[in-house]
Amino acid sequence: MAGPGAITAVILSYQTVGLIVTMLSIAIVIGITYTVFYSTRTIYRILGRRGSLIVSRIFAALIAAIAVQYIVDGLKTI
């Protein structure tokens, strides 16, 4: 769950807003993640197979956009 993107986000958050806000953000994300994992069957029952595929593709596009933004920001600093 803690990949390079999550670790980078925590480091950047700590540097920009401080420890308390970063720790609060981590706690909120843990809570949301637990809630989603706990209610996976209910969510899948509501969305169905097709809805789940659509949501996963939307989130994949969002993650790709964030990755491109990291690359652009990195190239700007160089």
Spatial separation of the C-alpha atoms in residues 45 and 63, rounded to whole Å:
25
Residue in the block written with tokens 């097709």: 50
The whole-model pTM stands at: 0.61
Per-residue pLDDT of the chain (78 residues; tens, 9 = 90+): 778 888 988 999 999 999 999 999 999 999 999 999 999 999 999 999 999 999 999 999 999 999 999 899 999 988
10 Cβ contact list (under 8 Å, min separation 6): 22, 26
| Per-domain boundaries in the chain | 1-38, 48-78
Q: Please, what is the average pLDDT of the chain?
A: 92
pLDDT tens-digit map of 20-40: 999 999 999 999 999 999 999
Two structure tokens written together for 74: 């990195």
